[in-house]
């Protein structure tokens, strides 16, 4: 088998998660790693068992590298994705695709012109029961959608001393909780329901208006604590918590809440979709169970099991029922579809995976949510 050789750019929390998922695909080889300096790239590559290490410009010159994974801070996504496409590489980019709509639009256009495979890592679509909800909705089992209630709650920025580059707008953009985790929620909402969000009304809250920035390096989710003299006070302008009312193109409504300051909620995305026939409810912290609500008979629990889900969902499941699959499997299942396209050498006419166009869509919604919060008014998308 001629394996597709991949280079991964960035080694924070998500870069190694990409690498682990890619290593589970039989037709892919993680051949190279890239970091900001050659020395750091070599150190990280050695730690992750990768033979070749480069700076970004050097990586793009490697003719045998066919695909690039962009896993760097947000402000680098546009420039690095553009450079990789111009170098003839297929690109899988972390979200958000870019820092603004102009950059994202340019990337969508460039990707279309090159014909190269392009994807944005909205991996949470690939929980099998998320696809099952989509499949059941498409088959008419949910009926007309009355409402969507969603939340995405975390606690990794709960303390004033919790700090990360995502708190700095020049690196992550003007939105934080909405852009970081709300984007997943808005993407999976439209993916499952088939609805388009046409207007938003947002209200943000910055709980910690000043945070203690460590003067020493602390990795994301590490939980390390420093001494008082090891911090500097930094004003915070992005949101810790946000509520957003939604209007859909079918005339009905929804609401989402996102928070990075909810104690005890480590990474909890929760969806409740009510239709004229049933209600679907699902939570990412119990991803192998889906609750189905009925009015006139007993409610149901559907377990993730390839023998029980719809036929078009089975490709997202590797193990039998009772053998739980979770967050790491979502990236593997997404990359399986992306690399089937890369093996063909071009972007499919109708991709099953999230593309740069999807990245543009979520950036558009995020910008409208930001606009709404500033105006404290409804904003049309």
Rounded Cα–Cα distance for residues 371 and 21 (Å): 36
What residues are annotated to the active site?
Answer: 95
Q: What tokens appear for 76 in the block?
A: 């680098």
Q: Would you call 113 exposed, middle or buried from its count of C-beta atoms within 10 A (0-12, 13-18, 19+)?
A: exposed
What residues pair up with 212 in beta bridges, in sequence order? Answer: 233
What residues pair up with 33 in beta bridges, in sequence order? Answer: 8, 53
Q: Would you call 164 exposed, middle or buried from its count of C-beta atoms within 10 A (0-12, 13-18, 19+)?
A: buried
Three-state DSSP state, 34: strand
Q: What tokens appear for 79 in the block?
A: 């420039």
Note whether 19 and 29 are within 8 A (CB).
Answer: no
Which residue, among 268, 310, 316, 325, has the nearest Cα to 142 in the 3D structure?
310
Q: What tokens appear for 190 in the block?
A: 């439209």
């Amino acid at each position: 088998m001629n394996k597709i050789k991949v280079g991964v750019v960035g080694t924070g929390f998500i870069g190694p998660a990409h690498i682990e998922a890619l290593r589970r695909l039989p037709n892919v080889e993680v051949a190279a790693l890239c970091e900001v300096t050659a020395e750091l790239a070599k150190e990280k590559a050695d730690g992750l068992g990768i033979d070749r290490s480069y700076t970004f410009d050097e990586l793009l010159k490697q003719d045998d590298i066919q695909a690039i994974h962009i896993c760097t801070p947000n402000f680098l996504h546009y420039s690095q994705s553009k450079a990789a496409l111009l170098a003839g590489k297929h690109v899988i980019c972390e979200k958000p695709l870019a820092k603004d709509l102009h950059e994202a639009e340019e990337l969508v256009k460039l990707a279309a012109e090159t014909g190269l495979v392009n994807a944005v890592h909205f991996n949470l679509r690939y929980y099998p029961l998320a696809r099952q909800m989509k499949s059941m909705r498409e088959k008419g089992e949910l009926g007309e959608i009355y409402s969507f209630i969603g939340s995405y709650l975390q606690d990794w920025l709960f303390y004033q001393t919790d700090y990360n580059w995502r708190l700095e707008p020049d690196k992550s953009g003007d939105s934080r909780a909405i852009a970081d985790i709300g984007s997943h929620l808005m993407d999976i909402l439209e993916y499952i329901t088939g609805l388009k969000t046409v207007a938003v009304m947002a209200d943000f809250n910055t709980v910690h208006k000043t945070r203690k920035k460590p003067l020493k390096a602390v990795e994301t989710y590490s939980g390390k604590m420093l001494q008082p003299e090891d911090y500097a006070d930094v004003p915070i302008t992005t949101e810790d918590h946000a509520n957003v009312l939604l209007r859909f193109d079918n005339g009905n409504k929804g609401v989402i809440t996102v928070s990075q300051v909810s104690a005890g909620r480590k990474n909890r995305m929760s969806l409740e979709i009510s239709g004229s026939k049933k209600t679907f409810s699902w939570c990412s912290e119990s991803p192998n169970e889906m609750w189905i609500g009925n009015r006139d008979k007993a409610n149901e629990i559907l377990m993730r099991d390839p023998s029980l889900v719809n036929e078009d969902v089975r490709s997202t499941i590797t193990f039998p029922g009772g053998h739980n699959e979770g967050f790491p499997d979502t990236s593997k299942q997404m990359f399986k579809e992306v690399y089937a396209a890369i093996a063909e050498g071009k972007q499919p006419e109708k991709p099953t995976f999230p593309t740069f166009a999807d990245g543009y869509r979520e950036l558009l919604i995020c910008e409208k949510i930001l606009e709404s919060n500033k105006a404290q008014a409804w904003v049309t998308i």
